[in-house]
Amino acid sequence: MAHRISTRISLRWLPDPPSEPTDTLVFNVGDFFMDLRVLKADASIDWGMAGERQILSKDPLKCRWIKTIDSLGPSEPDEGTFTPLPSGDDLETGSMPCAEKENAVTDYEEVWRKLVPRSGPKRGWILQSVEGKTFLGRVGGGYLALSDEQGHKFGARSEEWSPEKGWRVKYAIGDVEGVPSFAGAGSELLEGEAAWKIGETVVAFGKDFVVRAFENID
């Protein structure tokens, strides 16, 4: 599956009007995904999750997301169907529990916009810790780290690279102590990342991770 970076433009719980309370960033690389949604009101985590992405059908495009880690707690996989819009955005439709409606299963509509990768290495990858509860992802000059290690509060990092200023921390939320940071490491690249292979165990930021997804970016 081709890599994709997306941001959400709006969320609508039917029959309510659409809104967008979050700053959302999603990495899809290969068969895996990372998804961080940060509330604009107070920069707290609205929802963070990572795991496997399955394509159930291509026409229409229908996906299933199996969440290995989830800031809201364990839950069943989600499914959504995508329809292209005239604007070039994509409309996702489906149903899931809505916290604002006492967790009643509610139909929703989300509008998603594809983003161009930030300037950086022409590759994308997603790593999973050997213990299984930390995911790291990079596409070009964008980086996400999500962690739900046992005994710790959910933590999330979002960082951006620029050739002029290096790595900038956009978000560091929750328990991020020990969650790897490119900005903290000070380097643009990880040693050996260009040669990683899916399924192998590699050392990143001094810890062992399994390469879950790896793609070169044209």
pLDDT tens, 114-169? 999 998 888 999 999 999 999 999 999 999 999 998 778 899 999 999 988 899 99
Q: Which domains, and CATH codes, for the chain?
A: 4-115 (2.40.128.320), 123-216 (2.40.128.310)
Residues 6+ apart with CB under 8 A from 184: none
Look up the pTM and report it: 0.95
Q: How far is CA 107 from CA 30, 113, 126, in A?
A: 28, 20, 30
3-state secondary structure string across 39-63: ECCCCCEEEEEEEEEEEEEECCEEE
Task: Give 4-59 pLDDT, tens digit per residue.
Answer: 999 999 999 999 999 999 999 999 999 999 999 999 999 999 999 999 999 999 99
